[in-house]
Structure 1
Amino acid sequence: MGLALGKLMDKELQAVIPEYYAYLEKNIEYILKKVPPFFQKLITEHGLPSALDLTYDMTRLYTPPWFDEELQGLAAGSGVPYTMLRQLNLLPELLQASCTVLGAWGESTVASTLLHLRALDWDDKAPLAKYATVTVYHPNASYEGYTENFHKYYRQENYKSHAFANFGYLGLIGSLSAYSEASIGLGEKVWITEDKDIATRFGNPWTYVLRDVVQFADSIDTALTMLVNAHRTCSIHLGLGSYERNASVHSDENVGFRGIEYSAKEFNVFNWEDMYVRPHHPILKDVIYWDKHVQPSNFPCLGSLLVDHYGHLDAPTIIRNITSLAETGNALNLILDYGENAAYLAYSAPDDPQGPLEAYNRVHTRLDMTKLFAEPAPK
């Protein structure tokens, strides 16, 4: 799969990688504010690539081999050095984003379906934004040698590989936001906590864990089991969605969404009834959400908008009346409608002279995920 992607997008990969690295060097002061003191010193003395190489050394023993193999294929297909691609894919381990997560179903929505918002608030002007991609993977049903490794990394014997889509940027093979043909969806936001001892740099990078969960899980229970058993690293929030497409009647038993606090030493799962209680974070039946601010949040905007539109939520309403007013999703605004099996999305456009820049202000595209997952893999 890496080789195929590298051959397909070789010119684009050869353009974006050096451009993005030059951009990072120009904005190194911003990066230094986002990383722990040890990495600050390393970056100051030896540069950002040294910090990313150290991250690789700290994570490689905990990372399934198929990611490194895919990156080698990507390098072979594109002509971009493997080391640069490897470094790029570990950047999210250093720099998590302030994002919004929302799951809404049942009484809160128009059609009682499951809606899943992952609004990425990241650097909307970065060169990566000019190479925004939806990458649809059609993996083999089983990989030779997977069974032993799957048990090693997720403590499970059985697995089934599903077609899935990564909503992200060219060159990043891990998942920032992802959705599978089994109707499993995941999206992340940073979890800023005063407890500094719950995270580690020794483990499986979170973007790789999220991708594996979306590719291999077929229910919310198997997804949670994989997340619990993973060698977790950074502290992040997750929105995890699951939808049983063949159910005759959809209820809380087969339409699932969970909010998760995820870190090396903490794993907390929330439903709509036990989310944070704050004056500006109202508890709403069949709604789980975190806004783009530090949690628990006291910012009133998102909560009040959800109250105003409760019972009338669908993808267009979220786009027009929620994310645009809350000003969240500046880099990527993604709404998954599990009932339609569709994705509504927009990316920021720093190369559009007429604007607007932010994804939440731009026209959104609807993708029919049923058709995309049904496309036959090339022979």
Structure 2
Amino acid sequence: MNNNYFILFCILAIISQVQSVDPSCKGIINTNPILHDEPTFVNSVPNGKRFVVGSGYDKINIVHLYGGTPYDMGLALGKLMSEDLQHLVPEYFAYLDNKIEDLIKTLPPLVAKWIAELGLLGALDLNYEITRFYTPPWYDEELRGLAAGSGISYENIRRLNLLPELIKAACSVIGAWGQSTLSKTTLLHLRSLDWDEKAPIAKYATVTVYHPNTSYEGYENHFHDYYKQKYSGSYTFANFGYLGLIGSIGAYNEVSVGLGQKVWITKEQDITSRFGNPWTYVLRDVVQFSNTIDTVLTMLVNAKRTCSVHLGLGEYHRNTSIASDQTIDFLGIEYSAKEFNVFSWKDMYNTPNHPILDDVVYWDPHPQPSNDTCLGSLLVEHYGHLDAPTIIRNITSQLRTGNTLNLVLDYAENAAYLAYSAPDDPQGPLEAFNRVHTRLDMAKLFAEPAPK
């Protein structure tokens, strides 16, 4: 073999180790280590504590909030993160203003018309006016506390929180358990966020752990009004997202109920509405107030729904020694104002590009059913060997999903593996799916005591 052929052979061998054989998979294996650092304490205020984990461009804020009222928790968040919020809010809105022309092209016609006529802030204010009658009062109270603690105007804090309602993202969902996983006894849950890896909000990556008063006194009647069921208490839970956003784009609670979202791209415009409870607030309520999938489904069905989104919903009972069909459940949901469809793995699309796999529910970033073969082929390739590191190293990186936030929950470990994009990192990569991921011990976070 001459030298040129030998070099070519070596190059091909290297490529085969880092890239999927499926040509629709455009990414490469993420070879970065997974960090297991313990969070470092920063400071505390009444009803709140702040920690950080990681460093440099991979730093994640971990904020614990405690209190008997939503206002108390919002006030604590504002005080703990006031300096960051003072930078984030004007920086992020200026960034969006500079991208508004490109942004409008990707939005539903009605929303694009609002922004064209009213500007982004005016469109967000209009969205508030048509949703506030359907939104539980505890959100407004928490936002007012957040504004008071941070010094940011209530109006801008409110606008920030309605951005996900106005502007949705692509994203991917995987739920895998049983024979599909390496351990056979866990539930793995991917919630990747595909939006804009250059958005400066990623510099304020934040996991917010809520330790609410379990009675949430004074809200029992309101709870029934919004969800048509008896109030049964509140659970400690974590929001995986960004500073200042109090709704949920991905969340997980102390009794191992987890929820994540991706956009539902549909031409059926008549199944959506702008009049209702914003989806991020509904998702947060579901994780905060539910301990079973049945409770979640009841709340989602009874909610005054708005946008069309896909949801991945997981439940894991850790009080049993052996995982079984009775202890693990994961559902895919099509959620919109006028349609609500629930899928088990047996109900998923069975197409050449989306094969049905036992104990796996999944949606890739594309319109469903997808014409892209990448995710299905990767799941087939790694079936029976899935764990959180495998999903991070071999699936999300090769599918190139989770450019802004990449989150994998391992319910048996009671752990979260996550990475955020790094828009200012001069060395790159910018995308979360290619970056270092950090493992968080959720049992420890949920058990963090209140400040003295």
Q: TM-score, normalised by structure 1?
A: 0.99
The answer to whether the 8 A contact 1:206-1:233 is kept is: yes
Partner of 2:388: 315
The answer to whether the 8 A contact 2:315-2:330 is kept is: yes
1:45 Cα offset (Å): 2.7
| Deviation sequence 1:201-260 (CA, Å, 0-9, x none) | 110000000000011100111111111111110000000001111023211122010000
* Structure 1 residue 280 corresponds to structure 2 residue 353: yes
* Structure 1 residue 114 corresponds to structure 2 residue 174: no
Indicate the larger mover: 37-46 or 134-143: 37-46
Partner of 2:342: 269
Q: Whole-Å Cα distance in 2 between the matches of residues 49 and 159 of structure 1?
A: 37
* Structure 1 residue 372 corresponds to structure 2 residue 437: no
Q: Whole-Å Cα distance in 1 between the matches of residues 112 and 296 of structure 2?
A: 34
Q: Name the amino acid aligned to 2:334.
A: E
1:46 Cα offset (Å): 2.4
Partner of 1:56: 128
Q: 1:171 aligns with which of 244, 247, 254?
A: 244
Q: Name the amino acid aligned to 2:113.
A: K
Q: Name the amino acid aligned to 2:443.
A: T
* Structure 1 residue 345 corresponds to structure 2 residue 418: yes
1:145 Cα offset (Å): 1.6
Partner of 1:36: 108
Following superposition of structure 1 onto structure 2, how do residues 1-379 of structure 1 map, counting pairs within 5 Å?
Answer: 1-112=73-184, 113-379=186-452
The answer to whether the 8 A contact 1:100-1:291 is kept is: yes
Q: Name the amino acid aligned to 1:124.
A: E
Q: Whole-Å Cα distance in 2 between the matches of residues 22 and 39 of structure 1?
A: 19
Q: Whole-Å Cα distance in 1 between the matches of residues 103 and 399 of structure 2?
A: 25
Indicate the larger mover: 98-107 or 88-97: 88-97
SS of residue in 1 equivalent to 2:168: coil
Q: Name the amino acid aligned to 1:148.
A: N
Q: Whole-Å Cα distance in 1 between the matches of residues 235 and 204 of structure 2?
A: 25
RMSD: 0.9
Q: Whole-Å Cα distance in 1 between the matches of residues 288 and 113 of structure 2?
A: 37
Aligned residues: 379
The answer to whether the 8 A contact 1:334-1:344 is kept is: yes
Q: Name the amino acid aligned to 2:251.
A: A
SS of residue in 2 equivalent to 1:47: helix
SS of residue in 2 equivalent to 1:197: helix
Q: Whole-Å Cα distance in 1 between the matches of residues 130 and 311 of structure 2?
A: 23
1:160 Cα offset (Å): 1.6
SS of residue in 2 equivalent to 1:34: coil
Partner of 2:69: none
Q: Name the amino acid aligned to 1:70.
A: E
Task: List runs of 5+ in structure 2 lacking aligned partners.
Answer: 1-72
Q: Whole-Å Cα distance in 2 between the matches of residues 284 and 160 of structure 1?
A: 36
1:38 Cα offset (Å): 3.2
The answer to whether the 8 A contact 1:34-1:94 is kept is: no
Q: Whole-Å Cα distance in 2 between the matches of residues 38 and 358 of structure 1?
A: 30
Q: Whole-Å Cα distance in 2 between the matches of residues 40 and 371 of structure 1?
A: 44
SS of residue in 1 equivalent to 2:269: coil
Q: Whole-Å Cα distance in 2 between the matches of residues 269 and 127 of structure 1?
A: 35
| Deviation sequence 1:78-120 (CA, Å, 0-9, x none) | 0000000101111111111100000000000011210000011
Indicate the larger mover: 45-54 or 34-43: 34-43
Q: Whole-Å Cα distance in 2 between the matches of residues 139 and 204 of structure 1?
A: 21
The answer to whether the 8 A contact 1:323-1:360 is kept is: yes
Larger Rg: 1 or 2? Answer: 2
Q: Name the amino acid aligned to 2:138.
A: W
Higher relative contact order (CA 8 A, sep 6+): 2
1:30 Cα offset (Å): 2.2
Q: Whole-Å Cα distance in 2 between the matches of residues 157 and 222 of structure 1?
A: 10
Partner of 2:60: none
Q: Name the amino acid aligned to 1:96.
A: K
1:277 Cα offset (Å): 1.4
Q: Whole-Å Cα distance in 1 between the matches of residues 317 and 444 of structure 2?
A: 18
The answer to whether the 8 A contact 2:216-2:233 is kept is: no
Q: TM-score, normalised by structure 2?
A: 0.83
Task: List runs of 5+ in structure 1 lacking aligned partners.
Answer: none
Q: Name the amino acid aligned to 1:74.
A: L
Q: Whole-Å Cα distance in 2 between the matches of residues 22 and 307 of structure 1?
A: 44
1:377 Cα offset (Å): 2.1
1:182 Cα offset (Å): 1.1
